Structure 1
Amino acid sequence: MEPRVSCTISEGIADVRLDRPDKLNALDPPMFTALAETGLRLRDDHSVRAVVLSGAGRAFCAGLDFGSFRAMDGQGHEPASYEGDGPARALGQKAAYVWTELPVPVIAAVHGVAFGGGLQIALGADIRLVAPDARLSVMEIRWGLVPDMTGTQLLPGLVGRDVAKELTFTGRIVEGEEAVRIGLATRAEADPHAAAMALAAEIAGKSPHAIRRAKQLLELGGRVGLGEGFAAEQRAIRELIGSPNQVEAVRANLDGRAPEFRDTTPEDH
């Protein structure tokens, strides 16, 4: 069987691609497994500073493989479980949510279609760059289903609860420019992958310790009380001030040169 996901790492940037172009990167069990395993490997790779997540060929991801869908055959369907840490306990959920769990920024580059589960995978990214003519849809309702890959929990935080309901209840298709207007995407780009790689390079040039702490803090926003969030800010700033990478950031700025940061280590987490 051909690999379902490809991953190359260069200069701190992991370029991850759903790699089943003949099927528009449709999701089948091996694809779910490959996504979860790739994300977990990157989570533990302390040389990685940013991740770009995209689809090979003509689309980001067309959603559930129709053959897998037909295999449900009206007899009920028990999602594959995932044995591991974190809140995602089903394999499909882990395939999408693992990108949120990565300690570094993840940028989804979306072209073609991102339907159903494909859209939910993109929701796991921190930033979504979409082609103007990309087509996105919470399509599960068309098949008598509900989003079950963390989408019901992540979507309202992006577009608001009422818009999330409208998109989920109708399954309508949203094109790139509208996706940006409603908060489903960050911005539109003629070449999402090139733009995502450029943004990843910019992020990779910043202090990796500060970037990781920033993602941790922003993930807490709206999910914990203000007291806990403010306390986390203070712990982070105490850890960063005077640290080698923070000192290097100051010196590089004053010297007018590119900084030379050291990567994180397991002891930093």
Structure 2
Amino acid sequence: MDRVTLTVTNGVADVRLARADKMNAIDPAMFAAIGAAIDALAGRTDVRCVVLSGEGRGFCAGLDMASMARGGSGMSTERNDQGSILPQHVTWGWRQLPMPVIAAVHGVAFGGGLQIMSGADIRIAAPDTRFAIREMHWGIVPDMAGFPIWRGLVRDDVLRELVYTAREFEAAEALHHGFVTRLSDDPLGEALALAATIAARNPHAIRGAKRLLNMAHDADPRTMLAAETEEQLKVIGSPNMMEAVAANMARRAPVFAD
């Protein structure tokens, strides 16, 4: 897959942005490749967790402005069934995948790279990573689904300052504001280890929990209460639930069916 690699091992999909010579800057081909990777994962029942990272010196340096200037975006404004056009799908699509996504971030996450990273459920960054909501530097606005995700992560006035100024900020500040979940000297190794832990849980319960978490920010309490019950009824007494109980009682690793 051009610009993106995808391998699956023991239920964990290892997805890597693979344009290292350009610090994984996003050109039209990168947009298409990330979207295709998300679409490929959406229908896979054998994938229980996804780890998203970037090859080379950084996670993603944002838009490849030279490439965009030469040929324009060349992308359709047609919206998918989630309401996204392609530049939004490469962020929002990670959040909408049925399985959890963990981003392992290093080097830089600028502009579109910060938005793509934000689509993950969990974001682990190296302590020396630099971040920026970079779009205002180029005279444009963030438009890759950052806003509907950031409103659940970052305080409103802080977000406004970072959007308006386009200034760079360090990993410690990103952690403080909520852009990242935690810092690690080995973000990819820690992300893969965490993914293995998640992949060892009942996959149907994990998917149900993600559906509930995706609703939690916007749904009213009555809707959430009903959704909790609906998700529980799907898994309680199921073979995977019974296997979780049996494995815990026997102090052994469970063997779940996808």
CA RMSD of aligned residues (A): 1.5
Given the two structures, how large is their TM-score scaled by the length of structure 2? 0.96
8 Å CA contact 2:28–2:74 kept in 1: the answer is no
Point out 4+ residue stretches in structure 1 off by more than 4 angstroms. none
Counterpart Cα distance in 2 of 1:211 and 1:35: 24
For the pair 1:49 / 2:48, whether they are aligned, the reply is yes
Q: CA deviation at 1:83?
A: 5.1
8 Å CA contact 1:109–1:128 kept in 2: the answer is yes
8 Å CA contact 2:27–2:68 kept in 1: the answer is no
For the pair 1:86 / 2:85, whether they are aligned, the reply is no
Bigger mean CA offset, 152-161 vs 14-23:
152-161
2:12 is matched with 13
Q: CA deviation at 1:3?
A: 1.5
**1:64-97 deviations in whole A, cap 9, x for unaligned?**
0021343378xxx785324532121x21111111
Q: CA deviation at 1:200?
A: 0.2
Name the SS of the counterpart of 1:71 in structure 2: helix
Counterpart Cα distance in 2 of 1:181 and 1:103: 28
1:37 is matched with 36
1:26 is matched with 25
Fraction of identical pairs, as percent: 49
For the pair 1:98 / 2:97, whether they are aligned, the reply is no
1:190 is matched with 185
Counterpart Cα distance in 1 of 2:116 and 2:218: 21
1:238 is matched with 233
Q: CA deviation at 1:224?
A: 1.1
Gaps of 5+ in 1: 264-269
8 Å CA contact 1:82–1:94 kept in 2: the answer is no
Name the SS of the counterpart of 2:16 in structure 1: strand
Given the two structures, how large is their TM-score scaled by the length of structure 1? 0.93
Counterpart Cα distance in 1 of 2:56 and 2:47: 25
8 Å CA contact 1:109–1:130 kept in 2: the answer is yes
1:149 is matched with 144
8 Å CA contact 1:17–1:54 kept in 2: the answer is yes
- 1:224 aligns with one of 209, 216, 219: 219
Counterpart Cα distance in 2 of 1:96 and 1:153: 10
Name the SS of the counterpart of 1:16 in structure 2: strand
Name the SS of the counterpart of 1:258 in structure 2: coil
Q: CA deviation at 1:61?
A: 0.3
Opposite residue 119 of structure 1, the aligned amino acid is L
